Amino acid sequence: MIMTFYHKKTHRDAIWSYHNKTVAIQQQLCDVIADNGFTPVSTSAAWKYCQYDLPVLWQRNGQIISWRVEDSLFMEDIEAWTRPKPNAIISDNIPLRPIAGNDISLYPEHMHVYRYDPVYIDREPTWTYNCFMNRISGDRSLIFYELIRRNLLSSGLVSFNCFRPGNNRKVEDIKDYSEENYDWQYQTADLIRYSVEHELGRELIPYNNIETNNLELEQCIIDSCVSLILETYISDDHTVFSEKIFRSMQLPRPWMLYSSPGAVSYLRDNGFDVLDDYVDHSYDNKLEHFVRLLCIIDQLETFKKIKYSAVDYLRFNQAAQHNKNLLDKFESKWPDKFANVVRQIKNL
């Protein structure tokens, strides 16, 4: 538990170097779009119209280009599903159903922005698992309650900070919104079946034994037998990957991913080593979100008494290096990919 609330202090890690690479690509995209006669739909700084101070909605004679990366394009621009050709989207989002317009995908080559060399002390795990939850949501609350119900909370490196976007936005706002958000999400997500766990958890929030152990996220992963990763966006109709999964795939430990259905299959099909020989990723095929999530937690329990051997650690390092090499390969292919994106924009 964090004794002095300061959510911005949590979740320290090194992969955020990717941000500068992503913004540079975004700026290039905007330049290309503008050079082809498109102008921003709005100059508003509202998140609907811009990302990192760059406009994401562009128009030319009634034709719309909507772009967004490392974020859900379809949640911010719901009309992107139905705008017919020659309208277009440019994104790293993976639609799980057809869109009416042109889909100019940046994947898989754009994944190269997440390539980094994590720094950590190589040592045997002393924790069963890790699970990082800064923002509050229905699925994150469910996980927190399940960890309490199954007596798993104390065996993992866990953060459950109960943060909501907009909290503490102003410098002078130092209020701890944890309990307010905790109760709000419990009611909003209709989690009354966890009423006992909700009351037990009230005494623990904001829960975070990562900061109290003074650990970087990379070290948390190394110090755990398995990582439980919750992606930022969970949807029935599109997948969005973030730094969360790419951090773990470049570190030598197994992981489980709660994302949109088929997310692990997508990674596997694009060449990533998902350590199928250590994790049963069959949960990935469950279509109902909470069923998929509960299957993941069921499997998490199987790691409680696991002990890795030297052979296991060799295998984990092999997987991490393979995934780094794949991201390097994607980086080498990025210039051709970007040139193809430019051609598609010019042909709209």
* Residue 237 and residue 317 share a domain: yes
In the chain, the number of structural domains is: 2
- Let me know if residue 287 belongs to a domain: yes
* Residue 262 and residue 119 share a domain: yes
Residue with tokens 């199928």: 276
Alpha-carbon distance values, 167 to 13, 42, 173, 327 (Å): 22, 26, 8, 35
Predicted confidence band at 58 (pLDDT cuts at 50, 70, 90)? very high
* Residue 198 and residue 285 share a domain: yes
Predicted confidence band at 46 (pLDDT cuts at 50, 70, 90)? confident
Query: Can you tell me the mean pLDDT for 201-219?
Result: 92
- Let me know if residue 251 belongs to a domain: yes
- Start-to-end C-alpha separation, the chain: 53
* Residue 143 and residue 260 share a domain: yes
Cβ(206)–Cβ(136) below 8 Å = no
Predicted confidence band at 301 (pLDDT cuts at 50, 70, 90)? very high
* Residue 149 and residue 241 share a domain: yes
- Let me know if residue 296 belongs to a domain: yes
Range scoring the smallest mean pLDDT among 42-51, 290-299, 315-324: 42-51
The whole-angstrom separation of Cα 348 and Cα 231 is 33
* Residue 196 and residue 106 share a domain: no
**Average pLDDT of the residues of the chain:** 94
Cβ(54)–Cβ(70) below 8 Å = no
Cβ(144)–Cβ(150) below 8 Å = no
- Let me know if residue 2 belongs to a domain: no
pLDDT in tens, 72-128: 999 999 999 999 999 999 999 999 999 999 999 999 999 999 999 999 999 999 999
Is the pLDDT at 4 greater than 50, yes or no? no
CATH, residue 223? 3.40.50
Q: What is the pLDDT of residue 7?
A: 43
Is the pLDDT at 9 greater than 90, yes or no? no
The whole-angstrom separation of Cα 138 and Cα 185 is 6
- Let me know if residue 119 belongs to a domain: yes
Of 214 and 112, more confident: 112
- Which residue range(s) make up the domain with 67? 15-114+331-346
* Residue 70 and residue 146 share a domain: no
* Residue 141 and residue 43 share a domain: no
Alpha-carbon distance values, 259 to 78, 124, 210, 256, 320 (Å): 20, 28, 23, 10, 20
* Percentage of residues of the chain with pLDDT beyond 90: 86
Among 144, 178, 153, CA closest to 164: 178
* Residue 139 and residue 40 share a domain: no
- Let me know if residue 1 belongs to a domain: no
* Percentage of residues of the chain with pLDDT beyond 70: 96
* Residue 145 and residue 53 share a domain: no
For residue 171 the two structure tokens come to 């410098």
- Let me know if residue 300 belongs to a domain: yes
* Residue 198 and residue 319 share a domain: yes
Is the pLDDT at 178 greater than 60, yes or no? yes
Is the pLDDT at 169 greater than 60, yes or no? yes
* Residue 308 and residue 264 share a domain: yes
Q: What is the pLDDT of residue 191?
A: 97
pLDDT in tens, 243-271: 999 999 999 999 999 999 999 999 999 99
Of 19 and 39, more confident: 39
